Structure 1
Amino acid sequence: MEIFPPSVTKLWDEWEVRVLVLISLFLQIVLILLGDRRKYIPTNRIRVILWLGYLAADWIAAVCIGVLSNNQGDCEDDSSQQTNIIRAFWAPFLLLHLGGPDTITAYSMEDNELWLRHLLGLVVQFGGAFYIFLRAWKGMPLNILAIPMFVAGLIKYGERTWALRSASSSRFREAMLPRPDPGPNYAKIMDEHTLQRDQGFSVSFKPVPEPSTKVNCLDRDAPILQVGYSLFKTFKRLFADLILTFQDREDSQSFFHNTTWEKAFAVIEVELAFMYDVLYTKASVTYCRWGHLLRSVSLSFTVSTFVAFLLINKHGYSTIDLIITFLLLVGAIVLEMYAIMVLLSSDWTMLWLSKHKKTLKDKDEMDRANKRWSNSMAQYNLMSFCLQDKPIRWYLGLLQRFSYVYEMLEKHHYKTLIFQHLSDKSKGIKKERSDTNSRNYKELCAGRGDLVLKKEKYNCHSDLGWSVEEDFDQSILLWHIATDLLYYTDHQNQNRSSVKNPDCRTMSKMVSDYMLYLLVMCPFMLPDGIGQIRFQDSCAEAKQFLDDKKLVGEGRTEACQKLLAVNTEVPPLQLKGDKSKSVLFDACRLAKSLQSLEIAEKEKWEMMCDV
């Protein structure tokens, strides 16, 4: 007994390949349009669509090649023969689709590690497409036109595989290792030293000064793109777990100490944009001489094939198949032209122009920043999550961790505060090359707020030091909850005008929510720990408390007041033990300690912002 009637089966057999080919083309359009936009459109909708498109594109193209291969067989009549010929012509277009657009080669950095799998896929899929080509060969014009398209498809697929290989962790690190340097011939020098000393000469050694590697373009008057690219070449070593030299550090510090916050952020945006292109796009292939040559060959072959297709005799082919073939050719050309437009308007091209004395004004370069990142900072708030008045069903549980928002930095002028804070910290370190200086830098990098609490004007390390001496993830949760409690209760109990520096107050809240976002959504960016467990247990305890007090669905101010009203004289660990990793009421203790500090409101929020 058949599930589907014969008419439906026949219709599917006729349209199966057609539908798959059109879906594959549609996915390429989606990927090339959205692949680069995720840098500056930080919405989950874009990410989900791009993720689904990235995974489906390869799968659809591979399945389509398999179906085409399976359908190539003995032809019963001329009509079937014509169908096989024109559909075999679609095979190289599927190789083009497997090569993917220039704007995305990897969805995540882990995808780059699969370059060997893609190399195997290149061999297998090219073999399958070539098999289809051979089975359908009848010496017809369409058979001949498939040859240049095979070359274009092989180029595109090869570019993607090479880009993935270049961005893989092992290859990325190898590419930045300097050439082996044995240094001066020590054995030969010592032999000469011994010989001259035995002959009665007085021989002494002078230390060889290290050559200066200072980069001249790290000048506050240099073009933003050149400075950003120079810093990109310097700091990309950190992505390969390599260290920086003293000269690298001093050059970069000197630049940032003598520039404005606007230019500093613009330079960092350029630097990270270059890094993004290298890790997630075909930049390592397309922005080189070989890349330009391959692009020219691919585009010229595709355009030539399109022109020839318009001129050949198409009698006997299905009208629908001809339309699909036309769409594939036009789609390939349009996608290639769009990729060229992206290439010409990219930072890499602008950098080339600036190096050839066609310099853009800094204002023009900073105006391009909206195409480099979103100018926003992700926010995740524990209290907002726990106060949801609707229970999360099982099928929404997978999405509950994505309940975060983005706060625009430009709108609130927080970039100035961030830059000033980091600049002041950096300027506090002496610039001499010495062991003490090196220890100071290590202490600064390892500091987690204890340096702030020890400052003379605060002098509260004895009261609050315990909160920054815990595990890093625990400190994040403690200060996040405590900041939330003070933010809403202070706003309720005090006149807004009495808070002399509302920027520090709001900035503390924003940074606190951002750190929790990193803990929940990007734990791989933080030191190893049990942050996920602590967050879940803290959420569970907060929800239990809010349910008992009938506060679910109510405002955050009332919830914060109720939490601060709980007696926390006895440390929670003594009463509950350490089975639960919740830090909710430890954070309440921290908030009360902050409230009791005998410092001005302004200084308190400045301290919290610094921590």
Structure 2
Amino acid sequence: MEIFPEKLKKIWNVWEIRGLVLSSLSLQVILILFGSRRKTNRAILIRVLVWCAYMSADWVATVCLSALATKDADPEDNSSRSTNSLQAFWAPFLLLHLGGPDTITACSLEDNELWLRHFLRFLVQVGVAIYVYLRTWNNSILLTYLAIPVFIVGIIKYAERTWVLRSSSNERLKHSLLTDPDPGPDVAVILEQNVQHRLKKDTKLAMVVPDEDIKSEKDYLVQGNFLFKRFLYLYTGLILGFYERNDSYSIIHNKSPEDAFKIVAVELGFMYDKLYTKASLVYSCLGLFIRCISLCLLSFTLYAFAAIIDKHPYQKIDIMITYSVLVGAIVLEVYAFILLIFSDWTKAGHNPLRSATCKSCPPHSLLNSRKRWSAVMGQHDLLSVCLKNGAKCIRVHKFFGIHEKLEKFNYKTSAEIQRMLKEKCDKIKDDIYFASSCKELLAQRGDYVLEKWKLLDEFSWCTVDVEFDHSLLLWHIATSICYYNDSIKGTTKNANSRYEISKCLSDYMLYVLVIRQTMLPKGIGEIRYRDTCAEARRFFKQKELSSDNAIKGACRKLLEVDVSSLQLLEDIKGDRSQSVLFSGCILAKKLENLEMEMEFEIGYEKK
């Protein structure tokens, strides 16, 4: 018994390779259009679309090459041989697709670390493509020779991607920043010669950018590029010298909050491009040369193909597909070239196109004023999450082991960064110039504001006396309860008020704890979070509370629980659970007893 009817098999055999080639081209279009959107757009739809396209692109091209390698033509059928020779011409275009667009080479940082595996795949795929090409070699067919320039472009593009993945790996990135070993002065020779040797200290400042107020877009780019190059050292685990720290600080310390955030946006934009795109190669003289050669070779191939195609009896559908992949390759190259010309790298670096770009692109043009980052911060509210009903098909999700991941991202929200928050960051940066000040700031958990109000001893049990993730959860729960409780009184309506900023920062810190765990010190934060959620869900279920509308009522119910002391709570709970739900309620009650101004200033300053 056949599963698929014979007619369906014939249709599949006819359209298998054609469909795969068109699918591969479509995936390249998606990647080049949306690959870099992740940097500025946090929409889950775009992220899922890019992830699916990235994961599918290599697979589709590989399957298509395999199909071409195993397809045999009927030796007595001229039409079949012609179809095979034209379809074999698509093999170098698949190498071009495997090279990927300039806007995305890695979907995650782990992809860069797997560059050696990608290099092996590169060798195999190039070998398969050459095998397909040699199988259909025919000296009498001009199309055979026309594939050579496309092969050159395809192999270069694929090799580019492998080289960029290697260059962006943490080990190679760190190695590229290290200078040659310096043995220092030859002490033995100096002592033998009894010559007084005076060590020369390099007092030259590393400052290469103006530290005055920003007056143009160019200043943002130059200063952001300078900070990016210093940030690379910190990213790879190296340290900055005194003068480099001094120069980096001099750029930021006298800037307004808006200017400082714009510079950091440029800096992180450069960092994103370095790690996830072909920026390390494309924005160089070699990259520019390769783009020009690729465009010329593809244009020549299109012109030559149009000139000879009428002399051979190929099927119209195959001719149309060939035109599609040729034109598609050229359009993608032109689009990538336009992005290259008007990129921040070109305008900030020493690229040969820099002067032409600056002249042709006015300071206030659309290309200069584009968005560089999302300007939002992730949010995660524990109480709101626990009040919502669980996702549908939860058993299916648990079976595949994706339940917790889907739950985290399903309840994640975003909040726009307000001006008052930027001013808060600006206030902090004025106090962190010296290394000792930085260490003190990082070691504090709200000590400064508690000391200001003479409350450090009273609240030390939820700050310095517990682990960081424990303190974070306590203050998040207390902030949420106080916020929703005070919102009933109408004191949290102003979006820029300290109430809103405190809640925004509290939700952001929980977002970091739950979803971006690598940004925080190691601990049992995830276990505490899960236990706290379990206790909160049980409590809300007992009180028959659910849906978003019940959040204020849920906070009131939590405050009504008669837990007078931490000792009583510990005696009841023991060591069985790491939940801090009712410890957070105790903290909320203590904050509620303070004056309203003091209550949210503590929460605002502590964050």
User: What is the TM-score when the length of structure 2 is the normalising length?
Assistant: 0.91
Amino acid at match of 2:603: M
**Structure 2 counterpart SS, 1:312:** helix
Structure 2 CA distance for aligned equivalents of residues 495 and 130 of structure 1: 72
The aligned residue for residue 581 of structure 1 is 578
Quote the Cα distance in structure 2 between the aligned partners of 1:401 and 1:375. Answer: 21
On the 8 A contact 2:565/2:586 being kept in 1, the answer is no
| Offset of residue 272 of structure 1 | 0.4
2:480 corresponds to: 484
Structure 2 residue 298 is the aligned partner of structure 1 residue 297: no
Aligned-pair CA distance for 1:478: 1.2
Is 2:210 the partner of 1:215? no
Tell me whether 1:448 sits opposite 2:445 in the alignment: yes
Q: What's the secondary structure of 2:521's corresponding residue?
A: coil
Q: Distance in 1 between matches of 2:369 and 2:392?
A: 38
Q: CA deviation at 1:534?
A: 1.4
Which whole-Å deviations, capped at 9, do the CAs of 1:563-584 have from their partners, x for residues lacking one?
Answer: 1111222423321112211111
Partner residue in 2 for 1:5: 5
AA at the equivalent of 1:331 = G
Q: Decide which of 513, 520, 542 is 1:548's aligned counterpart.
A: 542
Partner of 1:235: 231
- Deviation string 1:41-79 (CA, Å, 9 cap, x unpaired) is 101111111111100000010011001000045633211
Q: Secondary structure at the match of 1:214?
A: coil
Q: What is the CA–CA distance in structure 2 between the aligned matches of 1:500 and 1:17, rounded to whole Å?
A: 60
User: Which SS does the other structure have where 2:575 is aligned?
Assistant: coil
Q: Which one-letter code corresponds to 1:592 in the other structure?
A: K
**C-alpha contact 2:17 2:68 (8 A) present in aligned 1:** yes
Which residues in structure 2 correspond to 1:382-397 (within 5 Å)? 382-389=382-389, 392-394=392-394, 395=396, 397=403
Task: Give the drift of 1:539.
Answer: 0.9
Q: Which amino acid aligns with 1:401?
A: K
Distance 1:531 1:257 in 2: 34
Amino acid at match of 2:5: P
Further displaced range: 248-257 or 110-119 = 248-257
User: Does the CA-based 8 Å contact 1:381-1:516 persist in structure 2?
Assistant: yes
Residue equivalent to 1:60: 60
Which SS does the other structure have where 1:406 is aligned?
strand
Choose which of 497, 506, 524 in structure 1 pairs with 2:500.
506
Whether the 8 Å CA contact 2:28–2:100 is kept in 1: the answer is yes
In the alignment, structure 1 residue 343 sits paired with structure 2 residue 372: no
CA offsets per residue over residues 529-577 of structure 1, 9 Å max, x none? Answer: 2222211111111111111111112421111111111122242332111
Which residue of 2 is the match for residue 405 of structure 1?
A: 413
2:605 aligned with 1:604, yes or no? Answer: no
Aligned partner (choices 411, 424, 428) of residue 425 of structure 1: 428
Q: 387-396 vs 254-263, which deviates more?
A: 387-396
1:555 match: secondary structure: helix
The aligned counterpart of 2:168 is 167
Deviations 1:479-533 (A, max 9, x none): 11111000011121x3539x99962111111111111111111111211122222
- Counterpart residue type for residue 304 of structure 2: A
**What is aligned with 2:88?**
88
2:455 aligned to which of 453, 456, 460: 460
Distance between the aligned counterparts of 1:391 and 1:10, measured in 2? 42
Shift of 1:218: 4.3
* CA–CA separation in structure 2 for the residues paired with 1:317 and 1:485: 73
Opposite residue 127 of structure 1, the aligned amino acid is G
1:390/1:524 Cα in 2 relative to 1: closer, same or farther (>3 Å)?
closer
Tell me the residue number matched to 1:434.
Answer: none
CA contact (8 A) 1:51 1:107 kept: yes
Does the aligned pair in 1 maintain the 2:256–2:426 contact within 8 Å? no
Q: Assess, with a 3 A threshold, how the Cα gap between structure 1 residues 363 and 577 changes in structure 2: closer, same or farther.
A: farther
Stretch moving more, 330-339 or 255-264: 255-264
- Which among 515, 534, 554 is matched to residue 559 of structure 1? 554
Match of 1:21, SS state, is helix
1:140-180 alpha-carbon deviations (Å, 9 max, x no partner): 11111111000010011011111101100100100111222
Cα distance change of structure 1 residues 181 and 72 upon mapping to structure 2, 3 Å threshold: farther
Contact 1:500 1:601 in 2 (8 A): no
- Take 1:425 and 1:317, find their aligned partners in 2: how far apart are those partners? 70
Structure 1 residues 18 and 542, CA, compared in 2 at 3 Å: closer, same or farther?
Answer: same
Alpha-carbon separation, structure 1, partners of 2:14 and 2:366: 54
Higher mean C-alpha deviation, range 439-448 or range 293-302: 439-448
Amino acid paired to 2:446: G
**TM-aligned CA deviation for residue 353 of structure 1:** 8.0
CA distance in 1, matches of 2:330, 2:485: 60
Equivalent residue, structure 2, for 1:310: 306
AA aligned to 2:274 is V
AA in 2 matched with 1:399: L
Output the CA distance in 2 between the equivalents of 1:515 and 1:393. 30
Tell me the secondary structure at the aligned position of residue 101 of structure 2: coil
Equivalent-residue separation in structure 2 for 1:423 and 1:480 (angstroms)? 23
Q: Would you say the 8 A contact 2:513–2:525 is kept in 1?
A: yes
For each residue in 1:270-290, what CA deviation from the matched residue of structure 2 results, as whole angstroms up to 9, or x when unmatched?
Answer: 000000000000000101111
CA–CA distance in 1 between the matches of 2:20 and 2:574?
59
**Distance (whole Å) between structure 2 residues aligned to residue 604 and residue 570 of structure 1:** 20
Deviation at 1:439, TM superposition (A): 3.2
2:157 partner amino acid: K
Which of 229, 250, 272 aligns to 1:276? It is: 272
One-letter amino acid matched to 1:213: L
1:527-546 alignment, distance < 5 Å: 527-546=521-540
Letter in 2 for 1:248: E
SS in 1 for 2:275: helix
Deviations 1:208-252, CA, capped at 9 Å, x for gaps: 444233314141245111100001111111110111222222222
Partner of 2:371: 371
AA of the residue aligned to 1:593: K
Task: Please name the residue that 1:199 is paired with.
Answer: none
- Which residue of 1 is the match for residue 400 of structure 2? none
Deviation at 1:378, TM superposition (A): 1.3
Instruction: Give 1:447 deviation, angstroms.
Output: 2.3
Distance 1:53 1:391 in 2: 26
Given the superposition, is the C-alpha separation of residues 249 and 353 from structure 1 closer, same or farther in structure 2, using an over 3 Å criterion? Answer: closer
Structure 1, 94-103 or 372-381: larger mean CA deviation = 372-381
- 2:241 corresponds in structure 1 to 245
2:237 and 2:44 mapped to 1: Cα distance?
30
Separation of aligned partners in 2, 1:374 and 1:33: 17
Distance 1:595 1:501, change over 3 A: farther
Question: Any idea what SS the aligned residue of 2:497 has?
Answer: helix
Relative to structure 1, the CA distance from residue 218 to residue 183 in structure 2 (aligned partners, 3 Å threshold; closer, same or farther) is farther
Deviations 1:12-39 (A, max 9, x none): 1111111111111110011111101111
Give the direction of change, closer, same or farther, for the CA distance of 1:10–1:306 in structure 2 (3 Å limit).
Answer: same
Match of 2:191 in 1: 190
SS, match of residue 378 in structure 2: strand
Ranges in structure 2 where 5+ consecutive residues have no aligned partner: 398-402
SS in 2 for 1:58: helix
- The amino acid across from 1:478 in the alignment is L
CA–CA distance in structure 2, aligned partners of residues 263 and 297 of structure 1 = 40
Q: How far did residue 405 of structure 1 move?
A: 1.6
In the TM superposition, residue 190 of structure 1 has moved relative to its aligned partner by 2.1
How far apart are the structure 2 equivalents of 1:366 and 1:207? Answer: 53
Q: 2: distance between equivalents of 1:12 and 1:293?
A: 42
Change (3 A) 1:538 1:361: farther
What does residue 381 of structure 1 align with? 381
